[in-house]
Structure 1
Amino acid sequence: MRQRAGAAVVAAAVLLLAVGCSGGEGGPGGGASVTPHGTTPGSPFVTPPEATPPAKGSVRVVRTVAEHLTTPWGLAPLPGGGLLVSSRDDGTITRIDEKSGKKTELGEVPGVAAAGEGGLLGLALSPDYGSDHLIYAYMTTDSDNRIVSMLYDPKRDPGDQLGAPNTVFRGIPKGAIHNGGRIAFGPDGMLYAGTGETGNRDLAQDKNSLGGKILRMTPQGEPAPGNPFPDSTVLSYGHRDVQGLAWDDKQRLFASEFGEDTWDELNAIKPGDNYGWPKAEGKSSDPKYHNPIAEWHPAEASPSGIAYAEGSIWMAALRGERLWRIPLKGTETYAPPQAFLKGKYGRLRTVVPAGGDKLWLTTSNTDGRGHPTKTDDRILEVEVS
């Protein structure tokens, strides 16, 4: 793979992290200043005021895009059309024609050891996908959780369109539960991964462990320039099980997290911060721990994927069987979270932007904990405001 870490890239990445740190609860791509329209060259940079989303929003399911999927987990829209979806238990990646719903299996990823909450999980496209055609995947093996990249060649026969996996990053702890699994490339071109503590609580507070963390690395799997801990991919720690990552329009990072028995969380991520688990679940009075911006009882949430659209974070809930809207003002909630689709489609796993006011949303009723209908699992097109 082509190396990206030239001097300019390093400097830009460090600047992005510095802005996030200095602005309070910003993420690694924190609200960078821009020159407002009409200013003259050399005038001071200022940050334009942020639009405030309405206190109340709306959700409309436009259509069912695809049906009869087996344990869908990761979802990645392709440039020019098409959706890639991973099957946690089958270890396959399938392309969905988002207009017709036609399914084409690209192939099975070798080495996937699906058991419990582990298997073939998150998907992400290379920042250079237009030239390198690489798909990144987070997968559970017999020994660990790891991130691999694979060449996608649609000209090959169906079932044989994936190249051999190249291990980008290995050694993330695995377990029957809490394997994390969400990966995404950020606005800075770096690869982010949410991991779980596998049920071993102590891993979350151990900065030398990769469990219970949000990781930030180069596309080649090296610690990203500007990370808060020397020679480490760890961006933040004290997490229980992170399965949602998303950036707002100011490049601030947010993450969803499974709680235990009391509080699930939505967090604004600040590099180097401790998010409390297992010492704190939900909001804490201890200043050592970074408090969530919103929290829910697990029966209402058990959150997995998140996406940003129309001024809000949209959060898919598994046990809660609903889609949450969390309107934002900066890195705080502007109004109380609002629930949609409660119980209508069962467990919801992954939500990704589909452009403008649209989202792609997957159900997760065939994962062993849901009650699948004859057409599950499904991908839905949803219009939001």
Structure 2
Amino acid sequence: MSTIRLKNVFKRFHDTQVINNVDLEIQHGEFCVFIGPSGCGKSTLMRMIAGLETISAGEISIGGTVVNTLPPAGRGVAMVFQSYALYPHMTIYENMAFNLKLAKKEKAEIERRVMNAAKILQLEPLLQRLPKALSGGQRQRVAIGRAIVRDPEVFLFDEPLSNLDASLRVATRVEIARLHHRLGNTMIYVTHDQVEAMTLADKIVLLNSGPAMLTKGSVAQVGHPLDLYHHPVNEFVAGFIGSPKMNFLPGELITGDTQAASVRLINGKAIGVQVNAAAANVGDAVNVGIRPEHVQLCAPEQAHLSGSVQHIEHLGEAAYFYVDVAGAEPLVIRYSGDRLPLLGDEVGLTIPAHHAHLFDSNGEAFQRTSEKVRKTAVSA
């Protein structure tokens, strides 16, 4: 079993703290995605699991064995990098077989493993070609095949699709998902792409960066993708997960109990939010959060907010409207109706209480009462 456990893991480069107090468990067979802003340490965390970076403090175990001092070759992991790193003078077969030859595997065993990987990745017709004769997506499949032939317990993917164009990214992402379903190995995947994270992951590990991580740890939230989307633990998670990001509206708490709260927005209108606000005080400064697809258009006289349409992005099946609202950043609304507002139109907006989120002055979320929350692990 290839369960991976990280206990109080730290990483420092001289005086710079990169990874701060990560406590994490990745179960055998899980597809776990590390995501976060640039510089948050997601690739560094993966490289520590692989043994390519030493840890400054803490413990990493794979399959019950502490691997802090083990070299990469002794950890039962195989890594696929952002660059394909194929040998240009070798055929695809030779590239996939190279590490097995170095390990002095029998010729028949090499043949069996390479052909099995080639079949899984649909590379059989390409085995006698050189890398220069392959497309970017095919080269990435070869890099994945080179990892498969090692028969590892754990696969590590470090932004493997970054060099591909949009259509190839989608196709290769589907192939990786099918590969995980077929092999059932533990997989850790680093990306900055939210679509990859949301569609591939059984578990997302969102890492933060900046001054907050020194007190709260590098991990902002861990959980199923929909947990992070529907139940973010703070404004950082709410603003990072989702594209476009969640809208935030400043306000003041009017009333609050275990089931609901009332908030006065900056325009004086009151709205309801279905959260447990029993611990808050009347008059506290709060932020109301609402995702673009949950804001509803209505007549200005019936609205919680109103503003003028400043920009429109047409996507075909829907459109995003950027509405200038007094006292807040422009609100983004996803709309798929037939009667689209025009630039400059005055529109009314309502915030449904069962879709709204509420955050205190420190950015921490009040627990929503409108939906059952999945079990979610958060870092210390």
Whether these two folds match at TM > 0.5 is no
TM bucket, shorter chain:
under 0.3
Question: Where is the strand percentage greater, Structure 1 or Structure 2?
Answer: 1
Question: Where is the helix percentage greater, Structure 1 or Structure 2?
Answer: 2
Kindly name which structure, 1 or 2, has the bigger radius of gyration based on alpha carbons.
2
* TM-score for the superposition, normalised by structure 1: 0.23
